[in-house]
Amino acid sequence: MPKTAAELANFLGAALEGPANLEVRGLASPEAAGPHDLIFVASAKHAGRAATTRAGCALIPAGVELPVKCVLRVPEPKLSFARAASWLLPPPELARGIHPTAQVSPSARLGSDVGIGPFVIIEDGVEIGKETQIAAYAFVGRGCRVGSGCRIHARVTLYAGVALGDNVSVHAGTVIGSDGFGYVYGEGRHWKFPQIGGVRVEDDVEIGANTTIDRGSLGTTRIGKGAKIDNLVQIAHNVVVGEHAIIAAQTGISGSSSVGNRVRIGGQVGIADACRIGDDAVVGAQAGVPTGKAVPPGQVVWGTPARPLAKFKEQYAWFGRLAQLAERVKAVERRFPQE
Amino acid sequence: MPKTAAELANFLGAALEGPANLEVRGLASPEAAGPHDLIFVASAKHAGRAATTRAGCALIPAGVELPVKCVLRVPEPKLSFARAASWLLPPPELARGIHPTAQVSPSARLGSDVGIGPFVIIEDGVEIGKETQIAAYAFVGRGCRVGSGCRIHARVTLYAGVALGDNVSVHAGTVIGSDGFGYVYGEGRHWKFPQIGGVRVEDDVEIGANTTIDRGSLGTTRIGKGAKIDNLVQIAHNVVVGEHAIIAAQTGISGSSSVGNRVRIGGQVGIADACRIGDDAVVGAQAGVPTGKAVPPGQVVWGTPARPLAKFKEQYAWFGRLAQLAERVKAVERRFPQE
Amino acid sequence: MPKTAAELANFLGAALEGPANLEVRGLASPEAAGPHDLIFVASAKHAGRAATTRAGCALIPAGVELPVKCVLRVPEPKLSFARAASWLLPPPELARGIHPTAQVSPSARLGSDVGIGPFVIIEDGVEIGKETQIAAYAFVGRGCRVGSGCRIHARVTLYAGVALGDNVSVHAGTVIGSDGFGYVYGEGRHWKFPQIGGVRVEDDVEIGANTTIDRGSLGTTRIGKGAKIDNLVQIAHNVVVGEHAIIAAQTGISGSSSVGNRVRIGGQVGIADACRIGDDAVVGAQAGVPTGKAVPPGQVVWGTPARPLAKFKEQYAWFGRLAQLAERVKAVERRFPQE
């Protein structure tokens, strides 16, 4: 069913300037947009990029003008663009019905309108909520609980007993519930510490591709509501990730560390074991947080070992001027030669 | 068959204090334990955490008291706990019998009691030892040899010709035997250097999820007996990992480097090509070991480029005091202004 | 059909010294070679390693002598060895014909001599060029285009709409076309920025195992002709990788960054968003390139934040001598005590 600019304006709470009945079919960049596409321009300084756009409709803030038929005035165009996307474009279908090649245990309980793709395995005692779609080769181990409206992409592996909330998306190749990395050395070898805990992923979490989330050793690994985790991330046993936290690609979080609510973690960050990252803190890309470190709420840390950004910048500036500092020491020495 | 505290004490060589016939069914943390669970307390300083435990049975060292029915005195409670886990809890079954959807080559030779899960592929000439379990979607390429008692989790990929010893565990999504990354540049393009060697993984190795281990180019990539490798680790062609080495998540070891016996490597470490890490050395998390570097046996190294820990700490301490050092230089300059 | 030393010499443009009809069957290291194997010795300094080789045939430069039956004189032995490998050893067959368990959409169009392995999924509207081989469990999503002569290893995942050129190799577990990591925060939660662009991988690219390449958000993620990408690499949305670029394992490239032609990037490098790495630049292992940074063509950069190698070495040398510098400051202070 076609959607109009007026409907979109209504959905977004935007002021409409232009033809109310313009049909909006897709989203695009200013360069690639066509007459039924929606674009956004975040601020006046980005308007140049859109000066020759063919887009039919644009989300722009007050004070910006663009040569488009239809303008939707909003205070935060990028946010409105993201919201418009969720409204205009249903996500691609991953599976519909239950594919005949799928192996679904008779003891599994599936909600209404669940989609199960080819070669999927659903083991004993699994529960899957309504409208969840599970793509090809996904493996859902014994006793897993998957909420409603979830999107489980191809070849995701859920070890036994993993629990996902509602509206959770997991991308291809990700493994949830693998054994944590814990051993005790004795008698000339490593003994495996029991890795018999669980994993709980709360509502509205999205997890990227080829990421790994280990089960708790004795406790539970938890990913809080609304958290977003990128590709190739490692989450170790017993880690707790707070609500709406953001964790960029290739970051690793070691055993029993906790990450607060709304924390933002850059790419390739390493957080050692037993750290506490306070709510709303920011950890810069490639930073290393040493064992047991507590980062206070709201603090921005950088570098290895991670320290407050201001401190990092100051130290780094001195580091960059070491040659000059040494030159000054030499000058002093020259003026006062040792007898 | 239920197991008693007395049997457990006997297995561990522990002194039993309390009812010999107490049934021990599981392992747990002090907080979560019930009356048939075993807990451990490593030392007096951790006893507070267990003061209100409901556990029926506890592994504790001499001199620690806990309000539990049954005490097992051991010198190293955490080690005994790990050993108890291996005795009390058989690992979860990955596969039993040969699933009808599995594709097993008629030329493959399977030992007794091998389990092959759904959609598994066993190619020509493969040999699999007795009691090995191979979970769903695992791919075992032409001519692979897999020992006895192995646990191959879902969607593990073994390229042709990979050899695993006995009691090897490999977690979901791990790839063993992929081509090494070697090219020779000439005539305006990269020519692939032959990647036709093998991979040999020795007995008692455990490998985490989504890890990659490349085959040798002309030689063999080897993982020594009892080594433990975490998730998302990269092991390049011709690498040799020593016995009982420990390699934490997201570490990468480049071509032709060797890691000695009992070496411990933290997370996100990078070891460049042709390095030699001596026996019992320790490489701290996020360290970078430069090309061709030899780390002597037993040395603890840290940082990038990796250097002995004492040196790292000293340099890092000076780094943190650079502002003060500069201030002191300034003070000297002020007192003796240049004419 | 057996191949002779004379044919090989002819293929390589090498001068032949020895029996023209010597049969050459394989390639090996000097230590492991047998009488029908080819080896190479790059220069006189490596000749010692081959002094006792049993190889029948050797690629060596002028001025080097070896006790082998048959010598092929070439200016760049390693390059000739790689070229010889491509001529002597056809890559192992991944699939032949269409396996009966494969799920191939009736609307897919397959070229001649395409091989499709067991449990492969080819969705609607896919096009696959001639002689491409697709191994077990590979997933080729709706509308993907795969060129001719490609080698898609086990359990590769191509999300819908991904385009691969000719002669592209992708190793096991790699995911191409997953959603980029983009959100807009508002109203207390993260809204997903649309990830509806494409991925285009050009001819002759090789991609390692368990790597992830995200689709463009609105634009296209592109991997240029002849580029080589190692294992566990992360390529974010809208990234452009130049022709014949080399990217080593565990490197991550953030959104909208571009990497020039023939750029070489070491392992575990982090490139933040919106960077520009110029043609022929080199980025050392574990380097971190900060947001928006432009590395000029041909520059060699090192460290975090990445800086020219000479600068890095100078700064690092001072860093290593900080204790001595502080000692010198102390000496000056001692000689002129503050009144």
User: Is B284 strand, coil or helix?
Assistant: coil
- Give the model's pLDDT for residue B337: 66
Helices marked H in chain B: 5-12, 77-88, 309-320, 322-335
**Given an 8 Å threshold on Cβ–Cβ distance, is A335 in contact with B336?**
yes
C73-92 in b/e form (b: 16+ CB < 10 A) is: bbebbbbbbbbbbeebeeee
C193 touches A59 (CB < 8 A)? no
- Give the model's pLDDT for residue A338: 60
**pLDDT-derived band of residue B338, with 50, 70 and 90 as boundaries?**
low
pLDDT at B115 over 70: yes
Nearest CA in chain A to B212: A210
**Given an 8 Å threshold on Cβ–Cβ distance, is C82 in contact with B191?**
yes
State the nearest Cα–Cα gap between A187 and chain C, in angstroms. 35
State the nearest Cα–Cα gap between B254 and chain C, in angstroms. 8
Distances in whole angstroms, Cα of residue B294 to Cα of each of A23, A292, C319: 67, 30, 21
Whole-number Å distance between alpha carbons of B59 and B15: 10
What is the value of ipTM here, to two decimals?
A: 0.96
Of C79, C172, C322, the CB nearest to B184: C79
State the nearest Cα–Cα gap between C322 and chain B, in angstroms. 6
Residue among A124, A152, A158, A191 with most chain B CBs within 10 A, to mutate: A191
Q: How high does pLDDT run on average in chain B?
A: 95
Strand partners, B103: B121
pLDDT tens-digit series, residues A100-131: 999 999 999 999 999 999 999 999 999 999 99
**pLDDT-derived band of residue A26, with 50, 70 and 90 as boundaries?**
very high
Whole-number Å distance between alpha carbons of C92 and A323: 56
Nearest CA in chain C to B307: C320
Whole-number Å distance between alpha carbons of C332 and C339: 14
Residues of B forming the active site: 237
Q: Chain A contacts of C185, Cβ < 8 Å?
A: 79, 244
**Given an 8 Å threshold on Cβ–Cβ distance, is B250 in contact with C250?**
yes
Q: Chain B contacts of A318, Cβ < 8 Å?
A: 322-323, 326
A151 touches A94 (CB < 8 A)? yes
Whole-number Å distance between alpha carbons of B282 and A185: 15
- Give the model's pLDDT for residue A337: 65
Whole-number Å distance between alpha carbons of C245 and C277: 11
**Given an 8 Å threshold on Cβ–Cβ distance, is B323 in contact with A314?**
yes
C150-175 in b/e form (b: 16+ CB < 10 A) is: bbbbbbbbbbbbbbbbbbbbbbbbbb
Residues of C forming the active site: 237
Of A78, A137, A286, the CB nearest to C184: A78
The values of phi and psi at residue A196, to 5°, are: -120, 10
**Given an 8 Å threshold on Cβ–Cβ distance, is B268 in contact with C267?**
no
Whole-number Å distance between alpha carbons of B310 and C261: 42
State the nearest Cα–Cα gap between C91 and chain A, in angstroms. 26
Strand partners, C252: C234, C270
The values of phi and psi at residue B9, to 5°, are: -60, -40
**Given an 8 Å threshold on Cβ–Cβ distance, is B246 in contact with A190?**
yes
N- to C-terminal Cα separation, chain C: 93
pLDDT at A140 over 80: yes
Neighbours of B140 (CB within 10 A): 28
Q: Chain C contacts of A280, Cβ < 8 Å?
A: none
**Given an 8 Å threshold on Cβ–Cβ distance, is A272 in contact with B285?**
yes
pLDDT at A326 over 90: no
User: What mean pLDDT do residues B209-230 have?
Assistant: 98
**Given an 8 Å threshold on Cβ–Cβ distance, is C210 in contact with B103?**
no
Tell me the two tokens of residue A317: 């500036």
- Give the model's pLDDT for residue C335: 78
How does DSSP classify residue B45? G
Of B228, B231, B285, the CB nearest to A190: B228
**Given an 8 Å threshold on Cβ–Cβ distance, is A209 in contact with C119?**
no
Q: Chain C contacts of B186, Cβ < 8 Å?
A: 76, 79, 82-83
User: What mean pLDDT do residues A141-164 have?
Assistant: 98
The values of phi and psi at residue A6, to 5°, are: -65, -40
Size of interface A-C (CB pairs under 8 A): 170
- Bridge-based pairing state of the strands A23-24 and A3-4: antiparallel
B54 touches B32 (CB < 8 A)? no
B70 touches B90 (CB < 8 A)? no
pLDDT tens-digit series, residues B21-70: 999 999 999 999 999 999 999 999 999 989 999 999 999 999 999 999 99
- Give the model's pLDDT for residue A323: 84
Of C159, C183, C325, the CB nearest to A326: C325
pLDDT tens-digit series, residues B275-302: 999 999 999 999 999 999 999 999 999 9
**Given an 8 Å threshold on Cβ–Cβ distance, is A332 in contact with C332?**
yes
State the nearest Cα–Cα gap between B54 and chain C, in angstroms. 40
Q: Which subunits sit against C, judged by 3+ Cβ pairs under 8 A?
A: A, B
- Give the model's pLDDT for residue B317: 87
Residue among C184, C291, C322, C324 with most chain A CBs within 10 A, to mutate: C184
pLDDT tens-digit series, residues B188-198: 999 999 999 99
- Give the model's pLDDT for residue A316: 86
pLDDT tens-digit series, residues A166-225: 999 999 999 999 999 999 999 999 999 999 999 999 999 999 999 999 999 999 999 999
Whole-number Å distance between alpha carbons of B25 and B43: 24
Specify whether the backbone of C230 is left (phi greater than 0), alpha (psi in -120 to 50) or beta: beta
- Give the model's pLDDT for residue B328: 86
Q: Chain C contacts of A121, Cβ < 8 Å?
A: none
- Give the model's pLDDT for residue C278: 98
Whole-number Å distance between alpha carbons of A124 and A106: 7
Which segments in chain C show pLDDT lower than 70?
A: 337-339
Long-range contacts of A264-271 (CB under 8 A, 24+ apart): A266/C272, A267/A230, A267/C234, A267/C252, A267/C254, A267/C270, A267/C272, A268/B268, A268/C252, A268/C268, A268/C270, A268/C288, A270/A304, A270/B250, A270/B267, A270/B268, A270/B285, A270/B286
